[in-house]
A and B are shown apart, each in its own frame.
Chain A
């Protein structure tokens, strides 16, 4: 383990790739790597990119990374795609949209399957992001699984959250609904060369004008990611948001909020793991069958499971 960490700290990309795999395996060893490298993290600016399937997240992520390279910055990318609920396998196809960066030494791109996690992320994403941060990239871009209305978890992982919208995908009432639109630090209207882009921009502006006075209004940036149009403005908007976080003193709050999210989600998975360890499969099976047969309600069953851990 020590050797791999040394190679990692020397900037060896293969060591980074290996360590990410260990972290992804959710093994105790993987946790030790996160522990060892965490003190080196906290320097990168983390940017989450979310939006519905086909909204252009991957293409936009690739174009944004290319823009940062033009500006002399290094970029780590984590792109999450869904796992099959049946076979637990996955097709991870985000590299296809990022071919231009394939041989750039200043870019490291990693595909992750969400392995059944909800919220558009993957169970070990926070660990993987902190490892990438510790490697020394200036920016770490996190592309979520195609997200609908309610996958807001990315806001707890990234300092700046970008929500990608497209023209022609619903009226302004869709946008007024609670959920994903609320977590945006920056709103992007991608595929801005399609009809209806300006209508969408004015609908979003109308929506933002309803926000209470004194709150920060996220900027709206029009992009055509396929042609790299507007991506420089998006990079500027991200830097402005970063400056805003620093100047308003909210950067610390934002980091604390992200840490709270991380700690709670890790505690949840540790507890769940302990429950699984302390409950034989046959016992769990018997318990859930009693629930299914209505002999016991699910709350009582869950309390029974949880108490096995808290007293043991």
Chain B
């Protein structure tokens, strides 16, 4: 499942907020790499502005946010807002981490196309990216 060189899917994997647990984000980044994507990995402790700015500069097709701190309802809307502010409105958003079922609707309304919780098969994430990035 690899795209030809000229049509690489570019994905930003970022961790907003203050929790330092980046194992999940790294596993996802690695799976996407092995799936043939070009993954821009920015590491932990990213502010919503930094994530939006990286998405703009790197012209990514997909943004994946990983969070385990429980602050997703605080931080994710701000990421979406910062993306909008910069005119980056056509990226595919997904997220993963410790996110309660009851927040699913709110996040979907914000524009998140998928939420991947613990136990997800990484191949499902790769499949999701290829289905939605439209390349």
Contacts and interface: CB of A to CB of B under 8 A. Distances in A.
Interface string A86-117: 11111111011001001100001111010110
Contacts of A90: 33, 38-39
Nearest to A77: B57
Interface footprint category on B: 20 to 34
Interface of A: 13-14, 17-18, 20-21, 24-27, 83-84, 86-93, 95-96, 99, 102-103, 108-111, 113, 115-116
B87 A14 contact: yes
Contacts of B57: 13, 17, 108-110
Contact of B35 (A20, A21, A89, A108): A89
A291 B87 CA distance: 53
B2 A87 contact: yes
A89 B33 contact: yes
A281 B49 CA distance: 47
Contact of A27 (B6, B32, B87, B88): B6
A18 B33 CA distance: 22
A109 B50 CA distance: 12
Nearest to A107: B57
A88 B5 CA distance: 7
* Interface majority SS (helix, strand, loop, mixed), chain A: mixed
Given A99-B43, A113-B8, A115-B5, 12 more contacts: A14-B56, A26-B5, A27-B6, A87-B35, A89-B35, A89-B36, A89-B37, A89-B39, A95-B42, A96-B41, A110-B57, A110-B58
A95 B51 CA distance: 11
Contact of A21 (B32, B41, B59): B59
A59 to B, nearest CB: 13
B127 interface: no
A95 B36 contact: no
A58 to B, nearest CB: 12
Nearest to A25: B6
Given A14-B87, A96-B42, A110-B57, A87 B36 contact: yes
A91 B30 contact: yes
A276 to B, nearest CB: 12
Nearest to B1: A87
A66 B19 CA distance: 27
Contact of A17 (B5, B36, B59): B59
Contacts of A18: 59
A79 to B, nearest CB: 10
B134 interface: no
Interface string B80-96: 00000011100000000
B75 interface: no
22 contacts: A14-B56, A14-B88, A17-B56, A17-B57, A17-B58, A27-B6, A83-B38, A87-B2, A88-B2, A88-B36, A89-B33, A91-B33, A91-B41, A92-B41, A93-B40, A93-B41, A99-B43, A103-B49, A109-B57, A110-B57, A113-B38, A115-B5
Nearest to A109: B57
A84 B32 CA distance: 11
B108 interface: no
Contacts of A109: 57
A96 B59 CA distance: 17
Contacts of A87: 2, 33-36
Contacts of B10: 21
A109 B42 CA distance: 12
A44 B40 CA distance: 26
Q: Which of A99, A111, A116 has the most CB of B within 10 A?
A: A111
A111 to B, nearest CB: 5
B53 A103 contact: yes
Contacts of A25: 6-7
B54 interface: yes
B54 A89 contact: no
B58 to A, nearest CB: 6
A88 B10 CA distance: 12
